[in-house]
Every structure is written in C-alpha cells, then in structure tokens.
Amino acid sequence: MRIVVLAGGIGGARFLRGLQQAVPEGTDITVIGNTGDDIHLFGLKVCPDLDTVMYTLGGGINEEQGWGRSEESFRVKEELAAYGVGPEWFGLGDRDFATHIVRTQMLAAGYPLSAVTEALCERWQPGVRLLPMSDDRVETHVAVETDGERKAVHFQEYWVRLRASVPALAVVPVGAEQAKPAPGVLEAIARADVILFPPSNPVVSIGTILAVPGIREAIADAGVPVVGLSPIIGDAPVRGMADKVLAAVGVESNAAAVAEHYGAGLLDGWLVDTVDEAAVARVEAEGIRCRAVPLLMTDLDASARMARAALELAEEVRA
C-alpha cells in the first residue's frame, strides 16, 4: 500500500510516528511537508515543519517540546545575542543550527530544497519519503492590527513571538500562487492508494500545502480515499492556536466546520474525537463519511490507533 500524508509540524510528525507503527514495515509512505512557515534567520534557511518531521521520525527530536533537537544547547544563540543580532524569540539550538547551515550551504550551491531535504534525510533515515510541498519560496504571512495599525508579519513572528495573542485578520501564503509542486509530489499523489490529512493546522499547515497550484486538484482527482483527522477537539485546538487562524479564514473552531472547510470535493472521510460525536451527523450530511474515535495523541500507541482508524475509514470509503 502506498500512503501519502500531508504534514505540518508537531501534530503531523506525531501522527506519522503512529502511522509507522500501525502499518507493516516497509509500507511506502510519502510525506508532503509544509514549507510555508520556513524562515530565514541569521542568513540561514530554517524549515521548521520539515525538520520536525525529520527529527521526530529520525529519533532526534526534543520529545518534551515536540520541536528542535534533543539534548540541545544554545551557545551560538547566546553569542549572536551578544553581538546584538536577533531575533531572540526564535529558539535555535546549536545542534539545530548545524542542520540549517548544511541546508543553506546546499541551497547556495544550487540544490533545490527537495534535494537538500533528501540529503538531510540520509542521515536521519525517517523511514518515509519526505518531500517539501514546493522547491519555490512560499511564506505564510499573517495580517494583524497592532497599535491601531494593520500590518503583515511572518507566520513565525505571529506564532512564536506574538504567540497568536492578537487576532489574525488574514492569512496569506505569499508566493503560493506562483509555486510549483516539488518534484515527486504530484507523482506520489497520483500513485497513492490512500491520502491522509493528519490533525495538523488546517489553515497554515495543510491549507498552505493545498494552496500550491496543482496539489489540491491532484488529490481531488486521485480517485483514492482521502481521510483527515480533526485537529479540533471539543471546539478547541488540541495544541497550538489553530482557532486563531481559523477565524481569519472564516471557519468556526469545531471539528465539523473544519471538515466542511476542506469540503466533500476533497475529503472522503473525517475522524472527530469521541467528545464530538454530535458532529458526525453534520459532517456526513456534507457527504463526508465520519467516525468518532479518541483523537488525543497522548502516546505512540494512541497515535497508532488513530492512524489505524484513519486507514480503516479509508477502506470503508473505498468499499
């Protein structure tokens, strides 16, 4: 079986680890990673979502915080601060810096991000094929109002520095319209037996991937089950601040509204948490098959059960 998974950062990575446990070893899994929250820091290209997937599946993640490297130190960052060079709000550790240095060096040498990601994965052996959604630069900007003035900030600035403390007035994946899917992305979708949307952020993670022209269409046209898992449980995001950016695109913060946002043209199946049992009927009324199962990724086994439930729903849809 060939599985394609669209993934953001922490939620996507943890779901993928569960999926790996749920399927037979050697199952062909291609991950299409969000690059809309990539950022240039200190002249280095940082790809938070790709790295979170790579480190998580490769055994190098900081398990507690869900991103960054394990046993990390921050000497480079301290020194940069001593030079008065910021931003200080982005926590780049020494081990993490090495990844960005290698990536930046390879990009400067002319390799596309997809080739660089493949090279980095040679070390990490994540057990999946990790593809950036695009080799072209896409940067998610968030429109906010501060001190009575409306301005656009980089998604990372909104998320990490401002901690989504002000309303997101709009979310714009700058450059997405001109971006092309990275090599292998459309091919993987076309060859997939099932396509999964983990409980990643539907706006700034999955939504950004779908904003790259060709990807949404390829998924809708693939003719295979497309199953997603709700990142919203009981009207609140499981982690992160998904509700903030959902409001910006006019979507209510509940499990059914997110399914409707993806739409029946794209989504065949949708998993909501057991506390959202009531949403099942509303989602099914939209023509999307829906099941309620526990959706908290409290540990690897719980994530694996979620992955199994998603694959079972896919088979139900297929039959």
Q: CB under 8 A: which stretch of 24-32, 49-57, 73-81, 234-242 binds its own copies?
A: 73-81
- Strand order through the sheet with 149-154: 149-154, 139-146, 170-174
Identify whether the C-beta of residue 133 lies closer than 8 Å to the C-beta of residue 112: no
151 binding its own copies? (CB under 8 A): no
Q: Determine the interface stretch with its own copies among 30-38, 119-127, 221-229, 233-241 (rule: CB under 8 A).
A: 119-127
Judge contact between 207 and 246, C-beta under 8 A: no
* 97 lies in the site for its own copies, by CB under 8 A: yes
Pick the binder of its own copies from 84, 110, 223, 250 (CB under 8 A): 84
Should residue 102 be labelled a site residue for its own copies when binding is judged by CB under 8 A? yes
Q: What is the DSSP letter of 264?
A: T
Closer residue to its own copies in complex, CB, 94/193: 94
Q: Which residue stretch of 39-47, 146-154, 164-172, 301-309 sits at the interface with its own copies (rule: CB under 8 A)? A: 39-47
Per DSSP bridges, beta strands 39-41 and 28-33 are: unpaired
Size, binding site for its own copies by CB under 8 A: 27
Q: Was 28 annotated as part of a binding site?
A: no
Candidate ranges 96-104, 172-180, 213-221, 306-314; the one touching its own copies (CB under 8 A): 96-104
Q: Which of 1, 65, 86, 123 binds its own copies (CB under 8 A)?
A: 123
Dist CA 6 CA 32 (whole Å): 5
Task: Outline where the chain has alpha helix (H).
Answer: 10-22, 48-58, 75-82, 94-108, 113-124, 155-156, 185-191, 206-210, 215-221, 242-248, 255-262, 279-285, 300-318
Site string for its own copies, 197-236 (x = CB under 8 A): ----------------------------------------
Q: What angle do CA 307, 207, 87 make, to 5 degrees?
A: 105
Contact call for residue 101 and its own copies (CB under 8 A)? yes
Collapsing DSSP to helix, strand or coil, 204 comes out as coil
Q: How far apart are CA 158 and CA 244, in angstroms?
A: 10
Residue carrying the six token digits 């998580």 = 56
Q: Rule CB under 8 A: is residue 85 a binding residue for its own copies?
A: yes
Residue from 83, 147, 250, 319 touching its own copies (CB under 8 A): that is: 83
Task: Please tell me what DSSP assigns to residue 79.
Answer: H
- Cα–Cα distance for residue pair 33/46, rounded to 1 Å: 13
Residue 71 Cβ, how far from its own copies at the closest point, in Å?
Answer: 9
For its own copies, the closer of residues 15 and 97 by Cβ is 97
Query: Judged by CB under 8 A, which stretch of 40-48, 141-149, 178-186, 274-282 contacts its own copies?
Result: 40-48
Residues belonging to the binding site are: 51
Binding site for its own copies (CB under 8 A): 42-44, 73, 75-80, 82-85, 94-95, 97-99, 101-102, 104-105, 108, 120, 122-123
